[in-house]
Amino acid sequence: TTKPTKEKMKAQTYYNGDANLNDLSGKTISVIGYGSQGHAHAQNLSDSRMNVVVGLRKESSSWNEAEEAGLTVMETSEAAKAGDILMVLIPDQHQADVYKKSIEPHLEAGNALMFAHGFNIHFGGITPPDDVDVFMVAPKGPGHLVRRVFTEGSGVPCLFAVHRDATGTAKKTALAYAKAIGGTRAGVLETTFREETETDLFGEQAVLCGGASELVKAGFEVLVEAGYQPEIAYFECLHELKLIVDLMYEGGIERMYYSVSDTAEYGGLSRGTRVIDHNTKKRMKMILEEVQSGFFADEWMKENAEGLPNHIRMRKKLGNHKIEQVGKELRSMMNWIPDNKQSRPEPEP
Ligand code: NAD
Ligand code: MG
Ligand code: MG
Ligand code: MG
Ligand code: MG
Ligand code: MG
């Protein structure tokens, strides 16, 4: 694979005027899966007067929910048969199996196979036939936001990428789909499967999920080991992070520093670079290399094939961490938190 060039142009961006819903007319869109993304795509498409079918397993707990939303629900293979455009919105680690069993046998020349994340196409878990369009429309937000913002008249920005243009119309179809879920109201940025997949994995591993939670835990541990009360350490290292992230989200790092006290700003600017230094960056680069080489993808698929032994072990270990214990108690004092669900189910092996 080729490395991206050091200096990239600004991403090409498309808006409502660049996309035409008529490019989907006469087509049936099958949304496979009705989770975070699936429910939002299916409902937005339906509100945009598209011909939508939801594909689920017969035993799926979402079946009734989708029907109650007024959608037509079919078993996955029936939905694959019915659809001209198939959007695959089930968890990435199950997509290859479901594709083999229930989707591939029903693909016809000129159909389109769509994804909201490039993992399986990029790492070769799914290899669609040559006569099928393959492209991605990936909202840069969770499904509930994709749905809510759409009903309010705007949209969540999306990425789109064409992996294979068998019909010559893949790009038009992708942009029309993005329009139908509200994406072009905000802007749809062009990328590649490789760029989307690799940056998504790197971001969640090094910064968003892995990096941020370890930073929080390490700070909490330092305070508790120094004899401070865990409740106070929790507030300082975890709870207050939301305020900081909200400020960055709304106005960048500068806005955040503008809003906090001058003492916090000076302390952060002068000390932060001692916590995250060039060695941290070196380790981040190693993590990026594991993503780029496919080492991470192989590890994750092997972990699934073996029934998730390490995943379950690491999840349990985190659950036993003092920050999680004290957090449960403190959050029960915060009755404005809408969903105080404090445990999550085991992952399905
Ligand atoms: P999810 O876990 O919320 O939903 C999964 C859905 O798939 C559920 O309806 C479940 O019942 C169904 N499902 C599970 N196994 C199935 C099977 N074997 N056969 C049929 N249906 C099955 O998933 P999600 O988070 O919406 O992710 C879907 C895709 O969207 C993934 O490719 C993900 O990377 C991508 N994505 C997610 C987000 C996000 O914020 N959640 C954002 C952008 C892209
Ligand atoms: Mg079909
Ligand atoms: Mg992501
Ligand atoms: Mg991801
Ligand atoms: Mg403080
Ligand atoms: Mg200030």
User: How do beta strands 13-14 and 188-190 pair?
Assistant: antiparallel
Q: Which of 32, 34, 37 to mutate to test the pocket of ligand 1 (most atoms within 8 A of CB)?
A: 37
Q: Is 61 annotated as a binding residue?
A: no
- Closest CA relative to residue 200, chosen from 112, 121, 311, 309: 121
| 223 CA → ligand 5 middle, Å | 13
- pLDDT computed for residue 342 by the predictor: 47
Find the ligand nearest to 201 CA. 4
- pLDDT computed for residue 340 by the predictor: 63
Find the ligand nearest to 235 CA. 5
Query: How would you classify residue 70: left for phi > 0, otherwise alpha for psi between -120 and 50, otherwise beta?
Result: left
Find the ligand nearest to 181 CA. 1
The alpha helices in the chain, defined as continuous H runs, are: 36-47, 62-68, 76-82, 92-98, 119-122, 143-151, 170-180, 183-186, 193-202, 210-225, 230-234, 241-259, 262-275, 278-293, 295-305, 309-319, 322-331
| 272 CA → ligand 1 middle, Å | 36
- Closest CA relative to residue 129, chosen from 146, 113, 151: 113
Q: Whose CA is nearest to atom 25 of ligand 1?
A: 36
- pLDDT computed for residue 1 by the predictor: 47
- CA 108/CA 129 separation, integer angstroms: 9
- Closest CA relative to residue 181, chosen from 212, 207, 149, 213: 149
The pTM score is 0.92
Q: Is 46 annotated as a binding residue?
A: no
| 147 CA → ligand 3 middle, Å | 17
Q: Whose CA is nearest to atom 38 of ligand 1?
A: 142
Instruction: Determine which one of 39, 41, 117, 122 is catalytic.
Output: 117
Buried (b) or exposed (e) across 293-331, using 16+ Cβ within 10 A?
eeebbeebbeebeeebeebeeeeeeeeeeebeebbeeee
Spell out the residues 6+ positions from residue 338 whose beta carbon is closer than 8 angstroms to its own.
none
User: What pLDDT tens digit does each residue of the chain (349 aa) get?
Assistant: 455 556 666 899 999 999 999 999 999 999 999 999 999 999 999 999 999 999 999 999 999 999 999 999 999 999 999 999 999 999 999 999 999 999 999 999 999 999 999 999 999 999 999 999 999 999 999 999 999 999 999 999 999 999 999 999 999 999 999 999 999 999 999 999 999 999 999 999 999 999 999 999 999 999 999 999 999 999 999 999 999 999 999 999 999 999 999 999 999 999 999 999 999 999 999 999 999 999 999 999 999 999 999 999 999 999 999 999 999 999 999 989 876 654 455 555 5
Q: What is the CATH number of domain 13-191?
A: 3.40.50.720
| 266 CA → ligand 6 middle, Å | 9
Q: Is 77 annotated as a binding residue?
A: no
Q: Which helix (H) or strand (E) holds 54?
A: strand 51-56
- CA 89/CA 115 separation, integer angstroms: 7
- CA 132/CA 239 separation, integer angstroms: 48
Q: Which of 90, 115, 181 to mutate to test the pocket of ligand 1 (most atoms within 8 A of CB)?
A: 90
Q: At what angle do helices 295-305 and 309-319 cross, to 10 degrees?
A: 90
**ipTM for the complex shown:** 0.94
Q: Is 154 annotated as a binding residue?
A: no
pLDDT digits (tens, 9 = 90+) for 153-162: 999 999 999 9
User: What residues line ligand 1, using a CB cutoff of 6 Å?
Assistant: 33-38, 56-57, 60, 62, 76, 89-92, 94, 98, 116-117, 138-139, 142-143
Task: Scan for tokens 């594991």, then name that residue.
Answer: 290
Burial class (CB in 10 A: 0-12, 13-18, 19+), 205: middle
Q: Pinpoint the residues of the chain covered by CATH 3.40.50.720.
A: 13-191
- pLDDT computed for residue 337 by the predictor: 87
- CA 180/CA 324 separation, integer angstroms: 41
**Would residue 117 show up in a list of annotated catalytic residues for this protein?**
yes
